[in-house]
Structure 1
C-alpha cells in the first residue's frame, strides 16, 4: 500500500504582497490567498507569464522576502514553494 503524502497545513490569508523578478527589479503586487511553511497560493494578473523563480515579500522592499519556485499556474493564480 502506497504511503499518502501529507500536505502542510495552510492558513487562509488574503493579504497584499509583492513579487520581485530579475534580481530585485519589477516589483508586482499580488495577493497571498493562503500560506504554509512549504509554500503559498498567490493571485496575480498574468500568472501564466511568471518566471520559474521569484521572490515573495509582504513589503515592497526588494531586500526582503523569500525565494520561491512556481510549481503551478492556473488563470490568475499560481502555487509557489519556498526554496
Structure 2
C-alpha cells in the first residue's frame, strides 16, 4: 500500500466575506471564505453554477489586491481553490 508524504498546509478558519473575479471578468462576486492556508482556501458561493476553473480571490471588491486561484474540488456550493502564480 503506497502512502503519500504530502503534508497539507495548516488551515485557519476565517469565515470572512471575500470577492471572486472570474478570469477575464470585471465584476466581483461575493463569496464566503470558510478557511484559508498558505496554499489555498475553501469558499462558498450563493450561485456557483457559473464558476470557472480559474479566478481571483480578494478580501475587498478591488480584485487587484487578490490572489490568482484554480478550483481543485467542488461539493455543491462549496469549492476548494489553490493559489497559483
Could you tell me the TM-score, scaled by structure 2's length?
Answer: 0.87
- Find the counterpart in structure 1 of residue 54 from structure 2: 53
Q: Residues 25, 4 of structure 1: CA spacing in aligned structure 2 closer, same or farther, 3 A cutoff? A: same
User: Is the 1:48–1:73 Cα contact (8 Å) retained in structure 2?
Assistant: no
The aligned counterpart of 2:22 is: 21
Structure 1 residues 3 and 77: alpha-carbon distance in aligned structure 2, compared to 1, 3 A threshold: closer
- Larger strand percent: 1
Query: Do the aligned partners of 1:48 and 1:75 also contact (CA within 8 Å) in 2?
Result: no
Change over 3 Å in CA distance of 1:22–1:8 after alignment to 2: closer
Runs of 4+ aligned residues of structure 1 deviating over 6 Å after TM superposition are: none
**Structure 1: tracts of 5 or more residues without a match:** none
Stretches of structure 2 that go unaligned for 5 or more consecutive residues are: none
**Matched pairs, number:** 83
CA contact (8 A) 1:24 1:63 kept: no
When normalised by structure 1's length, the TM-score is 0.89
Q: CA RMSD in A?
A: 1.5
Moved more, 49-58 or 17-26: 17-26
